[in-house]
Structure 1
Amino acid sequence: MARDAKPFRPRREMQIAELANGIIDPVLARRAGISTALLGSWDEIAGEQFADCSRPEKIAWPRRDASDEAGGYRPGVLTIACEGAQALFLTHAQGELIARINAFFGFPAVHQIRIVQKPVSQTAKHRPRPQPLKGEAARRLDGMMEGIEGDALKKAVARLGTAVLQKKR
């Protein structure tokens, strides 16, 4: 072995999703101002009513001026693609949606939503819903959810538990 050569050290195992997100996130951030985390969590953020008919497209951040004395952060405008008549309902629910988006980010990232009425990807529409659990798996999940008080949290845990405990096809 040469004097300057470093010994081989295997890297930790990585999932393909980690590698893909590491490549895609900088591109999405530069082009659209969003991340794969927002796209991946959109179903929970948008809620059952808007998950299948909408998707975030980009966040337009305001430009910073040299004359801007505050020099601080200013929230952006989120553009959402929405299908058909659901765009009207989304318009009425945008206050709640802005609050959910900002809660997801952990800071006031968005102050306004711009809705663009157009078709949303077909892949999101035809995503199979998990079948309800039966038998021992259902009883096991019910036992795990004892003590959870909030309805929204209980539903989220039930969805996660159903996906995890379901038998692989």
Structure 2
Amino acid sequence: MQEEGQGRRGSTPPAAKDRAGSAQAASTQGEGGPGWRADRGPRLVSSLLPQITRPAFKKRSPAAAQLIADWAAIVGPVVAAQTVPRNVSAGTLTIACSGPVAMELQYLAPQLIGRINTAMGQALVQKLRFVQAALKPPTPRPQKPKPMALPERVEASLEQVADPELREALARLAQGVYRGRR
């Protein structure tokens, strides 16, 4: 039998039962904020995640976000350079591209749909919809700066280093330091 004041495991202690009405009101916005429950302390993060992620997932599902993030790896660099996935809705993937590219992709639609669904691990896309849009040209990669002449004092210090790998690493470091001083 259980002694007085010692309830079943997980049950509310008698003193807390008196505050039960106010504890529920405070459970969502108690002293500690929205993640704090006055009757039992902090809430688990897992119980808060649905409330936090619901607005983001209404705009874009996790699968659609992954598709957009992995677009270049899924369709290849050539197609990815000419297209931008915009939206996935009811099994239809909307792709922005130029007119001629849209015509070419219509012929490749079955292969693209197969690649997308294979990469996503589910039948996410059944149909492709093309929207003509001017795409920004890809930004060119910055070119490597040309090596510059180091001050004689630095060159003399580098010549004293015996290890060739260390000397080369220090020379690259000095190049970066002096390049920034221009």
Greater per-residue helix proportion: 2
Q: TM-score, normalised by structure 2?
A: 0.44
Which protein is bigger by CA-based radius of gyration?
Answer: 2
With a CA cutoff of 8 Å and minimum separation of 6, indicate the structure with the bigger relative contact order. 1
